[in-house]
A = this chain, B = another copy of it.
Amino acid sequence: MQTVQVQAPSHSYDIVIGKNILNDFNLFAPHIGKKAAIVTNTTVAQWYLQPLVKLLQNNGIDAFSIILPDGEQHKNHESLNHIYDSLLANHADRKTTLIALGGGVIGDTVGYAAATYQRGVPLIQIPTTLLSQVDSSVGGKTAINHPRGKNMIGAFYQPKLVLADLNTLATLPEREFSAGMAEVIKYALLGDVAFLAWLEQHIAAIMQKDHTLLAQMIAHCCQMKADIVAQDETEQGIRAHLNLGHTFGHAIEAQMGYGNWLHGEAVAAGMVMAAELSQQLGYIGSDEIERVKNIIRAAHLPDTPPKFSEEEWLAHMRHDKKVDEGKMRFITLKNLGAAQIETLPDVNVLKNVLSKFTA
């Protein structure tokens, strides 16, 4: 079992990572009220809901469950209202604990419900995907989508506790496990070349879901994100490094239609493009590009994007919020493990990179 302590503005909390921790009521006990609502989706419910309800009820908690439909398209106002209605119907008060049991969509939606129900109730996050374990457990971002834009309605709200049980990764489709690995590789590339070497050494065993290595890896990513967020709560500076590969990745997702490429897959190819851009700018060489591609391939992720026209690439990148006011800002790699924010001096630098990925 590994524990990462996160310093949030309002309080500090623990991320506990390990096997079978969802069976351990002692982990919940200091953070849970007399009444608790477990919110999950139809997919996750079939594996992990009933044991958790029983664990809590056997320990005297008045626990009830709220089950949402599965999928990003349900990260919306209807799901939110469904949660509010169920909380009110079950007489949930300000001390009722909300437990988010699921991946990023559940974490974001339930986190936002917890932030806003009666102006905020206690929240426990139980991320069940690799992506949500390494990424969304830290930073307190919660949100739902609006028909006009993703994550348009939200709040910063910190949980009391995060429990990342490695058992839940057993039921995760391989493709989604790989997509989570894209974010793990991102942490290595943006800020820790020693962690990159560690990943290269252990990637085969990690892909086989060696529990000891997984726990170390997830804890390391959470610690890195916690350090970055602590330095930059308001997203003005270093926190932008977490967007490595995301400007290109968002263009891939948008052009392919959301859901056809998983977010992590698009970020993986986007990181290769960011590496190519860094080479264009003279920061890294072809050996480093190969190293990036190799670790991405080893995680069963795409090391090249689909081919679009230059116009298509540029159109999507101009819509990206990181390309503000005509200045093209990118996260580039000064070296492997050393990301930086950069405003491109000249759009031709970008066009040279895009020409490699143009139909």
Interface residues of A, Cβ cutoff 8 Å to B: 9-10, 77, 81, 84-85, 88-89, 93, 115-120, 141-143, 146, 148-149, 151-156, 321
Asked whether, in the complex, the Cβ of A119 is within 8 Å of the Cβ of B143, the reply is: yes
How many Å from the CB of A102 to the closest CB on chain B? 21
Given B9, B119, B142, B146, which contacts A84 in the complex, CB threshold below 8 Å? B146
Cα-based distance from A88 to B155 in the complex (angstroms): 17
Given B89, B93, B156, which contacts A119 in the complex, CB threshold below 8 Å? B156
Given B88, B89, B155, which contacts A116 in the complex, CB threshold below 8 Å? B155
How many Å from the CB of A148 to the closest CB on chain B? 4
Asked whether, in the complex, the Cβ of A141 is within 8 Å of the Cβ of B119, the reply is: yes
A-B residue pairs, 10 tightest by C-beta: A119-B154, A88-B148, A116-B153, A116-B155, A119-B155, A119-B156, A155-B155, A118-B152, A84-B146, A116-B154
| 23 A-B residue pairings within 8 Å (CB atoms) | A77-B81, A84-B152, A85-B148, A88-B146, A88-B148, A88-B149, A89-B148, A93-B321, A115-B155, A116-B116, A116-B153, A116-B154, A117-B152, A118-B151, A118-B153, A118-B154, A119-B151, A119-B154, A119-B155, A119-B156, A120-B155, A120-B156, A155-B155
Cα-based distance from A115 to B157 in the complex (angstroms): 11
How many Å from the CB of A19 to the closest CB on chain B? 34
- Grouping DSSP codes into helix (H, G, I), strand (E, B) and loop, the A interface class, with mixed when no group exceeds half, is mixed
Complex interface: chain B residues within 8 A of A93 (CB): 321
This chain: copies in complex: 2
Across the two chains, which residue of chain B brings its CB closest to A80?
B153
Cα-based distance from A148 to B118 in the complex (angstroms): 12
Cα-based distance from A156 to B116 in the complex (angstroms): 9
Given B88, B142, B151, B156, which contacts A152 in the complex, CB threshold below 8 Å? B88
Cα-based distance from A219 to B120 in the complex (angstroms): 29
Cα-based distance from A9 to B152 in the complex (angstroms): 25
Across the two chains, which residue of chain B brings its CB closest to A119?
B154
How many Å from the CB of A115 to the closest CB on chain B? 6
Across the two chains, which residue of chain B brings its CB closest to A10?
B9
Complex interface: chain B residues within 8 A of A81 (CB): 77
Most chain B beta-carbon contacts within 10 A, residue among A116, A146, A321: A116
Cα-based distance from A143 to B116 in the complex (angstroms): 9
Asked whether, in the complex, the Cβ of B155 is within 8 Å of the Cβ of A84, the reply is: no
Asked whether, in the complex, the Cβ of A84 is within 8 Å of the Cβ of B116, the reply is: no
Across the two chains, which residue of chain B brings its CB closest to A142?
B119
How many Å from the CB of A275 to the closest CB on chain B? 29
Cα-based distance from A3 to B10 in the complex (angstroms): 28
Cα-based distance from A319 to B276 in the complex (angstroms): 64
Complex interface: chain B residues within 8 A of A85 (CB): 148
Asked whether, in the complex, the Cβ of A153 is within 8 Å of the Cβ of B120, the reply is: no
Cα-based distance from A133 to B118 in the complex (angstroms): 23
